[in-house]
Amino acid sequence: MHILVTNDDGVSSPGLRALAGAMEKLGTVFVVAPEREQGAVGHSVTLHKPLRISPIDTNVYAVNGTPSDCVLLAVTKLMRRPPALVISGINRGVNLGDDVTYSGTVSAAMEGTLLGIPSIAVSQAGTRNFKFKTAAYFAWRIAKIVLNRGLPDETLLNVNIPDRMRISITGVRLTSLSRRRYEDPVVEKVDPRGRKYYWIAGTRVSWERHADSDYEAVRQGLVSITPIHVDLTHYPVLDQLRSWEELLTRGVLTRRRPSTRLNTVVSRTKDSSKRTLSRKQASVLKKSHRMIRRRPT
């Protein structure tokens, strides 16, 4: 069984090594990770420069791209058959709530999910002196279950581990994403030449607290597992806004009626000598014709 391990902290990160070590108990591990730190790159892929894969060690490769690039290259180019699991981490620091959309760690797992492979993101709470032992242990336990039972379609697991020794972990909780509030998310300063610059570096002030949130679980010393669906469609709202279809279509249809009739007139004026329209009329018609064509379908 082949397991793909990646991250966003870079190929030399100790969290990545700890995770790869834990996965070795479950199968043959391929590590394909960014050659350097790629925190907060989200789900971006590299489209405007060539990507290179550099072998570092046996089954360990560095890529000069994003976490999503790594997963895509590993699955489509490096590994002879798709891995049974994509696991991303162990990230230095939590990936909770709204932050998952910025997270390279979570996005790597999302890329795996989009490729049809069961995928997990693992992050470790803390700010410095990370010890990844507890996280590696739970990553191994969760991965074992995922390999045995699989995951629902289009769903990845976002796992966050409290900064605690294994024996002080109070349990494991299935959670939902929390909402956080930053106070002054953008810091304004002045550079030595007197020009303003900005730094996105808000102090975390508050999280909306609800009992089943990922934030609350980690705060209480529980391992948090949030199932994340890659289909971001808000289905209840889809139904609520259905009436907009008619509202927005109405204007388009009233424009369309004259233009379809007159299009034939415009095209006829092009090749026939029989000019039935003034230049001004024709240009108005052409314009309305363009508007119809641009209408998204």
DSSP annotation of 184 reads S
Q: List, in sequence order, the alpha helices (H) in 130-183.
A: 133-149
Name the site residues for Mn ion (rule: CB under 5 A).
8-9, 39, 91
Question: Cβ of residue 141: shortest distance to Mn ion, in angstroms?
Answer: 22
Q: Helix, strand or coil for residue 84?
A: coil
Query: Which is nearer to Mn ion, 106 or 142 (by Cβ)?
Result: 106
Query: Which is nearer to Mn ion, 21 or 39 (by Cβ)?
Result: 39
Query: Which is nearer to Mn ion, 91 or 134 (by Cβ)?
Result: 91
Question: Taking the mean position of all CA atoms in its chain, how far away is CA 162?
Answer: 23
Question: Cβ of residue 135: shortest distance to Mn ion, in angstroms?
Answer: 13
Alpha-carbon distance of 127 to 178, in angstroms, equals: 20
Query: Which is nearer to Mn ion, 5 or 262 (by Cβ)?
Result: 5
Question: Cβ of residue 88: shortest distance to Mn ion, in angstroms?
Answer: 10
Angle in degrees, 0-180, between the axes of helices 133-149 and 14-23, rounded to the nearest 10: 40
Question: Taking the mean position of all CA atoms in its chain, how far away is CA 174?
Answer: 20
Question: Cβ of residue 202: shortest distance to Mn ion, in angstroms?
Answer: 17
Query: Which is nearer to Mn ion, 180 or 255 (by Cβ)?
Result: 180
Q: How do strand 203-207 and strand 171-174 relate by DSSP bridges?
A: unpaired
Query: Which is nearer to Mn ion, 6 or 91 (by Cβ)?
Result: 91
Question: Cβ of residue 9: shortest distance to Mn ion, in angstroms?
Answer: 4
- The string of DSSP codes covering 190-249 is E-TTS-EEEEE--EEEEE---TTBHHHHHHTTEEEEEEEES----HHHHHHTTHHHHHHH
Question: Cβ of residue 89: shortest distance to Mn ion, in angstroms?
Answer: 8
Closest-CB residue for Mn ion? 39
DSSP annotation of 121 reads E
